[in-house]
Amino acid sequence: MRKTLTNTVVAILALFCLMGCAGSKRQAEPIPPACDMERLLATARSQVGIPYRFGGLTPESGFDCSGFTCWVYSRHGIELPRRSIEQIRAGVPVSREQLKPGDLVFFEIHRKGPSHVGIYTGNDVFVHCPSSGGRVREDRLTDTYWRKRYRGACRVRR
């Protein structure tokens, strides 16, 4: 009798566990909470010094600007479109005054519209992989060059 009761309780508990897994849908959420964001920013900063390469998607081959943002976010389970012009539509637009660490920042460099992207790290600083300078680095949004070319920002959703 005791064995039957134990087996019944175990079966009921297993059933409840399985029911909790069924039918749960993932909702779109804002980018990771602060603790996860710190890890994302640490990942981005860990690539400082990696060389620029047109079309590059990995630290081993080098990065271009959007390849860098794709790679960083993918390490944290967030897939971004490949090109900067597509990445600007991958999230919710935010004003310069609303920028938070982890937001994508966009610049008009070679053509009309956003042609360069970086990751905002806070205090008017962003990390990116520019073709000029040839390596992943941090720059200030307030530098004359970047301030004149700034075109907007977005907050990515998971």
What is the average per-residue pLDDT within 39-54? 98
Of 65, 70, 129, 154, catalytic: 65
- Domains of the chain plus CATH, in order, are 25-156 (3.90.1720.10)
Token pair 């400082």: residue: 48
How much of the chain, in percent, has pLDDT values that exceed 70? 77
Confidence of residue 116 (pLDDT cuts 50, 70, 90): very high
Confidence of residue 111 (pLDDT cuts 50, 70, 90): confident
Active site includes 129? no
Confidence of residue 10 (pLDDT cuts 50, 70, 90): very low
Strand partners, 125: 122, 140
pLDDT at position 9:
42
The more confident residue out of 4 and 47 is 47
Active site includes 128? yes
| Cβ atoms 52, 63 nearer than 8 A | yes
Confidence of residue 62 (pLDDT cuts 50, 70, 90): very high
Q: Supply the pTM of this predicted model.
A: 0.78
Highest-scoring range by mean pLDDT, 14-23, 33-42, 89-98: 89-98
Task: Decide if pLDDT at 140 tops 90.
Answer: yes
Task: Decide if pLDDT at 22 tops 90.
Answer: no
Of 35, 70, 116, 129, catalytic: 116
Other Cβ atoms closer than 10 A to 22:
6
Of 70, 128, 129, 154, catalytic: 128
